[in-house]
Amino acid sequence: MDLKNQVAVVTGSATGLGAAVVLKLAELGANVVVNYTKSLKEAEETLALAKSKDVDAVLAQGDVGNDEDCRRIAKAAVDRWGRIDMLVNNAGTTKFADHADLDALNADDFLNIYKVNVVGAFQMIRACAPQLKARKFGRVVNISSIAGVLGVGSSVAYAASKGALNTMTKSLARSLAPEIRVNAVCPGFIGTRWFSERFGPETYARIVEHNIQSTPLQRAGTPEDVADAVVFFCTEGALHITGETLLSDAGHHLALAGVVRR
């Protein structure tokens, strides 16, 4: 797998899964745009790591929920390298709320989550589409979630937004073909610093152990696991695939379906 001299834009890539995707693509020779909203220090660290892979990389600050920012992020790639070959829509947000507590969410919560998780992804695709089409082998990978398939996760609004992202993946795969392939990766639980900081070390450890015990493969996912799936969609090995949603969840969807043997 060789992506030498190709250009990838990865949104929300200062830390966690986005950073892992940047580094995987850089290892294969791709030049990368590292996008961040507020985490400048972490973004600079990811930038330095990417450049240590003997590729070029550039920072682009911006909120994907803002269309002008999306166009500026895309322009950062074009200004630097004159092309965009790959877009990874990783930026996302949520609000934690029990699914049974209907008063825990309001209309603004839904709109804020959709603005980033769905509209933001659409705006980034629109901003990058002319360059992706020009390559005749443009690739878009949307980072969705098992929540969008099973209706689980941090909140009803989050699950609904990821379900919408999955549908949009199919719609745009159809409308942007044949020049651009559009696919999605749906991770299950991924152990990241964000989760650890959100829940604290003890609760986080229990969540990890629960995921190890409750999935067929008996392991908690890592950002690198999901990054490998993203890389697959970005290489010629997936030349014949578009409109696909790939579950990367250690078989979590099987466990919820009652398929796991006890």
Among residues 35, 33, 77, 37, the alpha carbon closest in space to that of 57 is found at: 33
* Percent helix, strand and coil across the chain, each to the nearest 5: 50, 15, 35
Element (H, E) at 108: helix 107-114
Give the pair of three-digit tokens for residue 88.
Answer: 């990874």
Contact call for residues 35 and 123 (beta carbons, < 8 A): no
Tell me 119's DSSP state.
I
CA distance 177 to 171: 10
**Residues facing residue 190 across a β-bridge:** 221
Element (H, E) at 91: none
CA distance 25 to 86: 10
The answer to whether 158 is a known catalytic residue is: yes
Give the pair of three-digit tokens for residue 231.
Answer: 């890389």
Contact call for residues 22 and 32 (beta carbons, < 8 A): yes
The residues annotated as belonging to the active site are 158
